[in-house]
Structure 1
Amino acid sequence: MTNPPRARAIAEAVRTGRSSARAETEAALARIATGNPALNAFVSVDEAEALAEADAIDRRLAAGEKPLLAGVPVAVKDTIWVAGRRVTQGSRLFADFRAPADAIAVERLRTAGAVIVGMANSSEFACKGVTTNPLFGPTHHPQDQTLTPGGSSGGPAVAVAGGLVPLALGTDAGGSSRRPPAHVGAVGFKPSFGAIPYGPGFAEPFTGIAVMAPIAADVADAALMFEALCGPDPRDPESIAVAPADTRPPECLTVAYSPRFGLDAPVDEDVRQAVESAVDALERAGGRIVRRDLSWPAGVTETALMPLQHAGLAALYGDAFRRDPTLLDPDIAVQIERGLTLTGAEVAAAQLLGVEVARALAAFFTDADLLIGPTTPCVAWPLDRLGPETIGGQAVPPRAHAVFTPLFNHARVPAISLPCGIGRDGLPVGMQVVAPRGRDRRVLRFAAHIEMVLAAGGQGHPG
């Protein structure tokens, strides 16, 4: 796994004339041509379009502009609209779809001077915890091609961790842009709901919780991308302004550490040890760490909330399923079939539970500034499975690997995953940092502090 170039270094070089957007784009296209065949991170690359965008940015620079992401090559998940590009959601149903407009986040990337070099792989409709689909097949882990990076933003995460591009834009409705970065040693940031405006684009199966998510090689690059994308937009009535950066130093923040986020879920020993070691390092660096579990509403599990996804998929694609279920990924077809059998009361119960989750976490943050714990309970697993067969020595269902991320989507709060150590076979382990809604910059600043502390002790990034 190569060390990807840093976005801030590229942007500075382009702004100061030491490089150009065209040169950086050509370098990224060369890396993709060499590295992507083994990884299948990108599903489409438009070289002519990317170079034309780069030339336009160079003309802006010659005219005196100094855009924040000048000349930085970016991958965009194949579920997000990029005007004129083929965007498929990994589905045969959209195999020939051309986006009629840019998503607001893509529009802002262009304004910031970034170059969109291609579309990155996703599971179908971004509704599966591994990255494979009927159109493009699987994305491979950059350290071991027999392993999955997880999903659904596995393509964007591998594009960054594999050194193809410095930044990627994913989506996250249940951990899709935190778990894959955790598995491949990248940084994935799920902002507060509404912090980055959503749409225009495809209808979401999971309404009210999906976000656009920066993926980067380190926290500073993720923060840079977030600053280019955040802020309300009148086209998205649920978009919000986030709070200014926290002025308190990291050692003055009260940070709650919960090894399982208060859930009855097994964790592999290598993951537990890596996270505990990182927490110990933070304490030695003067951090105010308190060991404290959350109290969730009765009956809260990801399974209890999944009717919302299944019902959403059934509403959007139930007719297509009835016409020809073989057009769909079999795992997605199972979810649609379940959704078609749900009652209104069952869907409402899941919606009410999501509200209670948000209230429980808001209460938790009345006397804690941040919450930390594992991003996933396991490292990456074989490519041909939906999930590991065992975690923590226990037989588990296929979604057990995803247990620690979805509740923070339902709570609409910011959460970031960053590398915190190494598990079995040298595979990356991720730590998750969570804060109250709107405190995105607090999360980013503390994550940068973690990164610095771990780097000083030889922990953190695997590469």
Structure 2
Amino acid sequence: MTKPVNRAREIAADVTDGRTTAVAAAKAALGRIDAAKALNAVVTTDPARTLADAAAVDDRLRAGEKLPLAGVPIVVKDNIWAAGWRVTQGSRLFADFIAPQDAIAIERLRKAGAVVVGIGATSEFASKGVTTSPLFGPTRHPLDPALTPGGSSGGPAVAVAAGLVPLAIGTDAGGSSRRPPAHVGVAGFKPSYGAIPYGPGFAEPFFGLSVIAPIAADVADIALAFEAMAGADPRDPDSAGIAQEAQDIVDLRIAFSPRLGLDVAVDDVVANGLVSAVARLAAAGLPVSQRDPVWPTGATEEAIMPLQHAGLAALYGEAFRREPAVFDPDIAKQIERGLSWSGAEVAGALLASAAIAKAFAALFGEIDLLLTPTVPCVAWPLAQLGPDMIGGKAASPRAHAVFTPFVNHARLPAISIPCGADRRGLPFGLQIIAARGRDRMLLDAAREIEAILRT
């Protein structure tokens, strides 16, 4: 796996100071993408558009503009609008769709000087825990092409892990931009719901859950991207400002939950790796206690999945009835299930979602940061929805995703940073969670935790 030569902040400094140009940075990224086609991480490129955008950045710098992301090449997930680009959601229904405008987040990144160099692969409608789609096929793990990076933001995560770009933008409605980074050894940040405006873009099947999520090699680049994208915008009524915070990490109340208070299986290498990481943090002077959330009876991912199924059915049920073969078979099953849920069952899922949020709120009344695994296992074979076994037990297709969805339902910020690897070198991650709106505190703390774990 090739690591990036430069981080986003280093490229921006080099372009700003004239040591290179945005055009040169874009050409280099396009060359790396072309050389890594076998990974299937970047599914669409438009070199003429990219180089014209890069030239415009160079012109802006010559005119005296200050651009915090000057010339930084970015990959944008294939469900986020980037004006003039083909954006398909990995679906045959949108195979020829050209985004008519930028999503607010992409508009802000361009304003900061970033240059879109490609569109990153996603599963159809970003609704699957692996990255494969009817249009583009599977995205491959950069360490082993026989394995999946997970999903649904597998393309953006692999683009960063393979050194194609220093920064990629995904979405996260249940862990889609935390689990793939954990599996490939990079960082992925799910902001508080509303911290980064969402849309304009496709209708969203994940009601009140999905967020724009930066992925990078380290926390500093994620923080740089977050600052470029964050802040309220009247075009998104759910968007909100995020407070500035300055708090020494040693003054934070930090808790470790080995299984997030859930009765779930975890591979020994992950469980032991997390315990070792927490011990290193404690040895560095961080006050880490052990504490689990107290969940309401029946709090499981199965209890909240009707919301995803019903959302997909509401948006694509009619198209499914007309031509079911157009869809990924796994997505077709979700739509079919969504069409069968009663109103009472969907309302029950909403109540379960609210109860999960209240349980997290009670916990964060008493602590500042919660440390958990991001994933219970390392990457698995490309053709499977999940590993056959986790923790020595037979695993369901969603058993690999147990530690991330509740965070979305509570609308909290969370980041995954690399934490260790198995004997084959396959990575896993540490998830750090904070109360809603404390994104900047979380990023500051994650940067310090990252530094401790890298020593």
The bucket for the TM-score relative to the shorter chain is: over 0.9
Deviation string 1:103-149 (CA, Å, 9 cap, x unpaired) is 00010011000000110000000000000000000000000000000
For residues 424 and 136 of structure 1, the distance between their equivalents in structure 2, rounded to whole angstroms, comes to: 31
- The residue number in structure 1 matching 2:16 is 15
* SS at 1:336 equivalent: helix
**Structure 1: how far apart are the matches of 2:223 and 2:276?**
25
Q: Which amino acid aligns with 2:158?
A: V
| Code of the aligned partner of 1:378 | C
Q: 5+ residue gaps in structure 1?
A: 457-463
Q: Map of 1:73-92 to 2, 5 A cutoff?
A: 73-92=73-92
**Residue of structure 1 in register with 2:27 after alignment:** 26
- Counterpart Cα distance in 2 of 1:447 and 1:397: 31
1:121 aligns to what? 121
Equivalent in the alignment of 1:459: none
Compute the displacement of 1:83 (Å). 1.0
CA separation in 2, counterparts of 1:180 and 1:399? 14
The CA deviation string for residues 226-268 of structure 1, in whole angstroms up to 9 with x for no partner, is 00000000000110111213x2211121101000000111000
2-side partners of 1:33 and 1:206: how far apart? 33
Equivalent AA in structure 2 for residue 124 of structure 1: E
Counterpart in the other structure of 1:461: none
Tell me the residue number matched to 1:106: 106
Match of 1:437, as an amino acid?
Answer: R
Task: Show the counterpart of 2:302.
Answer: 303
Could you state the TM-score of these two structures normalised by the residue count of structure 1? 0.97
* Equivalent residue letter for 1:222: I
1:49-64 alignment runs, 5 A limit: 49-64=49-64
2:448 aligned with 1:449: yes
Tell whether the 8 Å contact from 2:247 to 2:441 is kept in structure 1 after alignment.
Answer: no
Aligned residue number for residue 407 of structure 1: 406
CA distance 1:424–1:304, shift in 2 (3 Å): farther
Please tell me the residue identity of whatever aligns with 1:57.
Answer: V
Deviation at 1:274, TM superposition (A): 1.1
Which residue identity does 2:106 align to in structure 1?
V
> What is the one-letter code of the residue matched to 1:183?
H
User: Which residue of 2 is the match for residue 180 of structure 1?
Assistant: 180
- Output the CA distance in 2 between the equivalents of 1:243 and 1:363: 21
- Counterpart AA for 1:371: L
Amino acid at match of 1:350: A
Amino acid at match of 2:339: L
Deviation readout 1:162-199 (Å, 9 max, x if unpaired): 10000000000000000000000010000000000001
Q: Secondary structure at the match of 2:137?
A: coil
What's the secondary structure of 1:320's corresponding residue? Answer: helix
Shift of 1:6: 0.4
Q: How far apart in 2 are the matches of 1:240 and 1:419?
A: 29
Aligned residue for 1:426, secondary structure, equals: coil
Could you tell me the TM-score, scaled by structure 2's length? 0.99
Letter in 2 for 1:189: F
Letter of the structure 2 residue corresponding to residue 203 of structure 1: A
Which whole-Å CA distance do the structure 1 matches of 2:192 and 2:353 have between them? Answer: 15
Cα drift, residue 424 of structure 1: 3.9
Q: For 2:226, give the aligned amino acid.
A: F
- What is the CA–CA distance in structure 2 between the aligned matches of 1:410 and 1:223, rounded to whole Å? 23
Question: Which residue does 1:94 correspond to in 2?
Answer: 94
Q: Specify the alignment match of 1:289 in structure 2.
A: 288
Match of 1:207 in 2: 207
Q: Secondary structure of 2:424's partner?
A: helix
Question: How many residues matched?
Answer: 454
SS at match of 2:242: coil
- Offset of residue 283 of structure 1: 0.2
Cα distance in 2 for partners of 1:360, 1:71 equals 43
Equivalent residue for 1:250? Answer: 249
Task: Say if 2:369 is the partner of 1:370.
Answer: yes
Equivalent residue letter for 1:29: L
Amino acid of the residue matched to residue 39 of structure 1? L
User: 1:43 and 2:43 equivalent?
Assistant: yes
Alpha-carbon distance in structure 1 between the residues aligned to 2:167 and 2:64: 24
Which position in structure 2 is the counterpart of 1:70? Answer: 70
1:312 CA displacement: 0.5
1:52-104 Cα distance to aligned partner (Å, 9 max, x none):
00000000000011211000000000000111111100000000111111100
Partner in structure 2 of residue 241 of structure 1: 241
Do the aligned residues in 1 keep the contact of 2:413 with 2:435 (CA within 8 Å)?
A: yes
Aligned sequence identity (%): 65
Match of 2:271 in 1: 272
Matched letter for residue 181 of structure 1? P
* Separation in 1, partners of 2:38, 2:298: 42
Q: Output the CA distance in 1 between the equivalents of 2:378 and 2:444.
A: 26
Q: Which amino acid aligns with 1:362?
A: A
Equivalent in the alignment of 2:437: 438
Deviations 1:390-436 (A, max 9, x none): 10001111000000000000000000000011124111110000000
Give the aligned residue type for 2:355.
E
Aligned-partner residue type, residue 19 of structure 1: T
* Structure 2 residue matching 1:28: 3-state secondary structure: helix
Q: Is it true that 1:341 corresponds to 2:340 in the alignment?
A: yes
Query: Which amino acid in the other structure matches residue 430 of structure 1?
Result: G
Aligned amino acid, residue 273 of structure 1? N
Check the 8 A contact 2:167/2:214 in 1, yes or no: yes
Q: Which residue of 1 aligns with 2:138?
A: 138
State the alpha-carbon separation in 2 of the partners of residues 227 and 255 from structure 1: 25
Once the two structures are superposed, residues 312-364 of structure 1 have per-residue CA deviations (whole angstroms, 9 ceiling, x without a partner) of 00110011111111100000000000001000000000001111111110110
Structure 1: 4+ residue segments shifted above 2 A: none
Partner amino acid for 1:32? I
Give the Å deviation of 1:367: 1.1
CA distance in structure 1 between the aligned counterparts of 2:94 and 2:25, rounded to whole angstroms: 31
Q: Which amino acid is 1:117 matched to?
A: V
SS of the residue corresponding to residue 283 of structure 1 reads helix
